[in-house]
């Protein structure tokens, strides 16, 4: 995802800083104090905005989910060909990964891998995954109607496989510091398995 | 992976405790002190076994990689049909996920998602992924020779896609607390895309 844009709203600044922190250091590795310090907010003020670190985490996940939705709208909207839209969405992610030298990866997958024991955060992550999956399925269904993607498998199921393979490939990208797993994932699925 | 078996060797006990801790709480969320306390080793003794938390992390990753190799040998060895061996490997993982109520997931993927900035740990994770991929590719290549898996795509590339899709599905399993993403991943790949 893109580096968060700054806004004047302190709560939003805290969420954006949290997203950057969680992406780099994980949920447990990101202290509330360092988020507050980075934004320049006194420690006591945190509870004016959030009940707990968990509530803060929930706001960060929701914010990241909105970023994914914006990126999908930006990629799918202008494209007449929905498969070109899907490619544009992933190409943008790959550009961002190169910019950040293959660090970070996907916040939703990272937190999904890291977090245990919080029902609140688990539900936020589940909702974020579903929203992403549903958005991809819309583009895939449209492509099925246009005859550019195979129509014998449900679009939601194709979207699940595409997202999950992508997430696994993102983790290997982080470990091996190369886009190759991502390019191969798209080539195998979009250019082969998903073809009509 | 299976709960680590206890041994009499203190270093090994620390590694096994570390694997359990990292799986549940991540690398940053697992303190050396809690590992030492669980094994009943005084704090000062840690450096008799490891130079740093990073060296300890490396030993935990290597241990986990050996567990994967043992599980592959156990699943692939007795099976006359290598595809049945692959299914047995994944079935065992699914059984363990059910036993631990869908928590934990895969240590290699979790640490890959979480860790940044350590070249030592990055290289250990890369080696663990490659060893796993290579083991899966051996079974897939054998199946290609037997005509039960399509032979027009390199076995290593099929293994990459299978492992990465599985890893993404494991993260969704953790979030949604169901084996469904894992079953769907195997059905889409082993029962469909990979068929001759």
pLDDT digits 0-9 by tens, A47-86 = 999 999 999 999 999 999 999 999 999 999 876 799 999 9
Closest C-alpha to B112, from A124, A112, A126: A112
- pTM score, two decimals? 0.93
Tell me the C-alpha to C-alpha distance, in Å, between residue B58 and each of A88, A184, B22, B111: 37, 28, 12, 11
d(CA A99, CA B60): 31
For B120, nearest residue in chain A (alpha carbons): A175
Q: What is the ipTM of this complex?
A: 0.93
- Summarize the confidence of residues B5-10 as an average pLDDT: 61
What percent of chain B has pLDDT above 70? 95
Query: How close, in Å, is residue B90 to chain A by CA atoms?
Result: 16
What are the tokens at A119?
């029902």
Q: Do A112 and A119 meet the contact criterion of CB atoms below 8 Å apart?
A: no
pLDDT above 60 for B72: yes
pLDDT above 60 for B6: no
Whole domain around residue B189: which residue ranges? 53-193
Phi-psi sector, A150: left (phi>0), alpha (psi -120 to 50), beta: beta
Q: CB contacts < 8 Å between A and B, how many?
A: 118
Query: How close, in Å, is residue A186 to chain B by CA atoms?
Result: 10
Burial of A12 (0-12, 13-18, 19+ CB in 10 A): middle
Whether residue A25 and residue B25 make contact (CB cut-off 8 A), yes or no, is: no
Q: At what angle do helices A107-114 and B107-114 cross, to 10 degrees?
A: 130
pLDDT digits 0-9 by tens, A137-191 = 999 999 999 999 999 999 999 999 999 999 999 999 999 999 999 999 999 999 9
Q: How many domains does chain B have?
A: 1
pLDDT above 60 for A112: yes
Q: Which residue has the tokens 């895309």?
A: B193
What are the tokens at B66?
């050996």
pLDDT of residue B116: 83
| One-character DSSP codes across chain B | -PPPPP-S-HHHHHHHHHHHHHHHHTTTT--HHHHHHHHT--GGGHHHH-SSHHHHHHHHHHHHHHHHHHHHHHHHTT-SSHHHHHHHHHHHHHHHHHHTTT-S--HHHHHHHH--S-HHHHHHHHHHHHHHHHHHHHHHHHHHHHTSS-SSS-HHHHHHHHHHHHHHHHHHHHHHTSSHHHHHHHHHIIIIIT--
Whether residue A122 and residue B175 make contact (CB cut-off 8 A), yes or no, is: yes
pLDDT of residue A116: 83
A151 within a domain of the structure (yes/no) = yes
A2 within a domain of the structure (yes/no) = no
B103 within a domain of the structure (yes/no) = yes
On chain B, the residues whose CB falls within 8 A of the CB of A110 are 113-114
Whether residue A188 and residue B122 make contact (CB cut-off 8 A), yes or no, is: no
For A185, nearest residue in chain B (alpha carbons): B161
B138 within a domain of the structure (yes/no) = yes
What are the tokens at B6?
């206890």
pLDDT of residue A8: 56
Q: What is the mean pLDDT of chain A?
A: 93
Helix (H, G, I), strand (E, B) or coil at A52: coil
A36 within a domain of the structure (yes/no) = no
A187 within a domain of the structure (yes/no) = yes
A14 within a domain of the structure (yes/no) = no
Tell me the C-alpha to C-alpha distance, in Å, between residue B39 and each of A149, B49, B56, B61, B63: 55, 13, 15, 19, 17
pLDDT above 80 for A7: no
Nearest to B129 among A28, A165, A172 (CB): A172
The pLDDT-based confidence of A6 (bands split at 50, 70, 90) is very low
CATH number at residue A60: 1.10.357.10
A131 within a domain of the structure (yes/no) = yes
Whether residue A103 and residue B109 make contact (CB cut-off 8 A), yes or no, is: no
- Summarize the confidence of residues B31-43 as an average pLDDT: 93
């Amino acid at each position: 995802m893109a580096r968060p844009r700054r806004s004047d709203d302190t709560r939003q600044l805290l969420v954006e800083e949290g997203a950057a922190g969680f992406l780099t250091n994980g949920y447990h590795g990101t202290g509330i104090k360092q988020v507050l310090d980075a934004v320049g907010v006194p420690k006591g003020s945190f509870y004016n905005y959030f009940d707990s670190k968990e509530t803060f985490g929930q706001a960060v996940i929701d914010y990241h989910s909105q970023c994914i939705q914006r990126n999908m709208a930006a990629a799918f909207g202008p494209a007449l060909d929905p498969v070109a839209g899907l490619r544009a969405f992933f190409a943008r992610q790959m550009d961002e990964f190169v910019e950040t030298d293959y660090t970070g990866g996907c916040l939703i997958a990272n937190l999904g891998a890291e977090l245990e024991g919080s029902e609140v955060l688990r539900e936020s992550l589940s909702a974020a995954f579903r929203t992403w999956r549903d958005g991809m399925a819309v583009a895939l269904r449209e492509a099925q109607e246009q005859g550019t993607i195979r129509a014998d498998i449900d679009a939601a199921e194709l979207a699940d496989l595409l997202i999950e393979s992508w997430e696994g490939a993102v983790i290997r990208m982080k470990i091996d510091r190369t886009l190759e797993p991502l390019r191969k994932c798209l080539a195998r699925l979009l250019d082969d398995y998903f073809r009509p």
